[in-house]
């Protein structure tokens, strides 16, 4: 039976709650010391805590102190604080300290029962996530327990030991490079180089020499013979990201390398034998490109001996929470933050968000949330997401106000991310320094100033 600790010095309320929580094992405490003793002894998942505890029941200080102690001993505990009728300030203070929720007297059995059951569900979900995160997933760094990611991991694992050319298909930010690296790390080539190159980010005229290298004097500026990425990957794995962006003219040369495993540097005459495993990735529909003749059919078959679909984050169910917790732990260390977890609304919002930028978007949102969060708990708003019931996340639909609010928020986040350096803040926002200063003036963001 799940355990609930009720901390309240009022015998009447203790009785009422015992009756309300009939499906649970209810443990009682009537002051701070006994609450801590019961917490250590029974390790309840949920605590209801009256903030007005003896010796000074008219004041919330003893209750708030108890809350802080409970959360420092067992931070995962869901504490529901119970406050007097008009004590919203202390209720909010408690939530800021990390309480799961608050409830104002008089106690209504049905409502508090629902609160407790939701708190328990969240506790159990988080527990499951922590356990999953600890159990080593098949492909090392690939975090995720959804069927779709497990299926992709299994395919990756099966081909890791072979030299088959794999094509990873998935939207931007889904983890294609992480998969490619995992395949390499699980292959016999793991002690040799893993070289990644993004075909879309290198200008067309430079891509050939980047990949194949060049001989001294091959073109103006070729002052010394330079090996390309393919040669550098000798013995290891070459990851060609955005293969769909490879210029058609270069595709024939690529095909020859894949078929014959030899290359010629630009301006060179000698064939160089290379032993490289190739993994390609793209977010494009290569078969449609073949139809349109913008991608060679023979190259398509050569690079896609096996394809692995990397699912978008929105199709990975509660993996988003698992990943969010992992990143939260990373960033809270990096930014020395006291943030402990997520509010229930934030968890809901993360589960509902479409994540067009996938895991990269989740990382960015979490990084700024860890920096921006004011309490111990990340709220929906810190993530820049919308709660249920908020139609657009804004209290207003007035376009000017919406814009002002969004701009102020972006400026503040950029300023934090830029370590309070104004030039860097302007750079992150893609505006000039004078524009930044005039926006700060306009929106009266008086706290935003250069680091002193």
Query: Under the rule (CB under 6 A), what is the footprint of ligand ATP?
Result: 141-144, 170, 172-178, 241, 283, 323, 359-360, 363
Q: Least distance (Å) from ligand ATP to the CB of residue 251?
A: 20
Question: Hey, which residues does 341 pair with through a beta bridge?
Answer: 377
Q: Least distance (Å) from ligand ATP to the CB of residue 360?
A: 4
87 versus 319: smaller Cβ distance to ligand ATP: 319
52 versus 175: smaller Cβ distance to ligand ATP: 175
Return the closest-CA partner of residue 221 out of 200, 205, 201: 205
184 versus 283: smaller Cβ distance to ligand ATP: 283
370 versus 436: smaller Cβ distance to ligand ATP: 370
d(CA 111, CA 92): 19
Place of tokens 């908020």: 390
d(CA 51, CA 7): 9
Distance of CA 30 to the CA centre of its chain: 41
Q: Least distance (Å) from ligand ATP to the CB of residue 378?
A: 18
Q: Least distance (Å) from ligand ATP to the CB of residue 94?
A: 34
The full 3-state SS of 20-80, as one line of letters, equals HCCCCEEEEECCHHHHHHHHHHHCCCEEEEECCCCCCCCCCHHHHHHHHHHHHHCCCCEEE
Contact 16, 28 (CB under 8 A): no
- The CB-nearest residue to ligand ATP is 175
Q: Least distance (Å) from ligand ATP to the CB of residue 199?
A: 11
Return the closest-CA partner of residue 43 out of 35, 32, 54: 35
Q: Least distance (Å) from ligand ATP to the CB of residue 115?
A: 33
38 versus 174: smaller Cβ distance to ligand ATP: 174
8 versus 241: smaller Cβ distance to ligand ATP: 241
Place of tokens 């290359």: 263
User: Which helix or strand (DSSP H or E) is residue 377 part of?
Assistant: strand 377-378
Contact 103, 80 (CB under 8 A): yes
């Amino acid at each position: 039976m799940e355990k609930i600790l009720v901390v309240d010095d009022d015998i009447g309320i203790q009785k009422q709650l015992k009756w309300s929580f009939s499906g649970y094992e209810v443990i009682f405490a009537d002051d701070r010391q006994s609450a801590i003793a019961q917490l250590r002894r029974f390790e309840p998942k949920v605590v209801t805590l009256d903030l007005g505890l003896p010796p000074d029941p008219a004041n919330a200080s003893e209750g708030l102190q108890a809350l802080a102690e409970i959360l420092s001993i067992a931070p995962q505990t869901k504490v529901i604080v119970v406050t007097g009728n008009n004590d919203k300030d202390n209720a909010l203070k408690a939530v800021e300290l990390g309480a799961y929720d608050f409830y104002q007297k008089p106690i209504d059995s049905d409502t508090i029962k629902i609160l407790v059951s939701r708190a328990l569900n969240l506790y159990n979900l988080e527990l499951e996530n922590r356990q999953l995160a600890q159990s080593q997933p098949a492909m090392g760094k690939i975090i995720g327990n959804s069927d779709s990611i497990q299926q992709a991991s299994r395919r990756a694992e099966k081909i890791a030991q072979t030299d088959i050319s794999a094509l990873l298909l998935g939207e931007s930010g889904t983890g294609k490079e992480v998969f490619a690296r995992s395949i390499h790390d699980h292959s016999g080539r793991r002690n040799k180089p893993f070289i990644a190159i993004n075909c879309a980010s290198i200008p067309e005229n430079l891509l050939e020499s980047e990949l194949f290298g060049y001989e001294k004097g091959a073109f103006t500026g070729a002052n010394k013979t330079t090996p390309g990425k393919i040669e550098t990957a000798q013995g290891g794995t070459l990851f060609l990201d955005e293969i769909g962006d490879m210029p058609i003219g270069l595709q024939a040369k690529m095909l020859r390398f894949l078929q014959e495993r030899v290359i010629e540097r630009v301006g060179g005459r000698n064939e160089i034998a290379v032993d490289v495993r190739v993994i390609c990735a793209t977010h494009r529909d290569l078969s449609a490109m073949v139809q349109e003749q913008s991608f060679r059919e023979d190259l398509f078959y050569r690079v896609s001996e096996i394809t692995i679909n990397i699912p978008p984050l929105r199709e990975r169910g509660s993996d988003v929470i698992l990943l969010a917790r992992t990143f939260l732990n990373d960033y809270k260390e990096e930014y020395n933050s006291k943030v402990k977890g997520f509010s229930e609304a934030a968890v809901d919002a993360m589960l509902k968000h479409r994540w067009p930028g996938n895991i990269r978007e989740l990382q960015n949102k979490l990084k700024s949330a860890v920096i921006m969060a004011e309490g111990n708990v990340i709220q929906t708003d810190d993530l820049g997401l919308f709660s249920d019931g908020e139609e657009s996340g804004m209290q207003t639909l007035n376009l000017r106000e919406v814009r002002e609010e969004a701009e102020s928020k972006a400026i503040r986040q950029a300023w934090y991310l830029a370590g309070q350096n104004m030039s860097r803040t302007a750079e992150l926002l893609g505006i000039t320094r004078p524009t930044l200063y005039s926006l700060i003036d306009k929106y009266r963001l008086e706290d935003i100033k250069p680091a002193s």
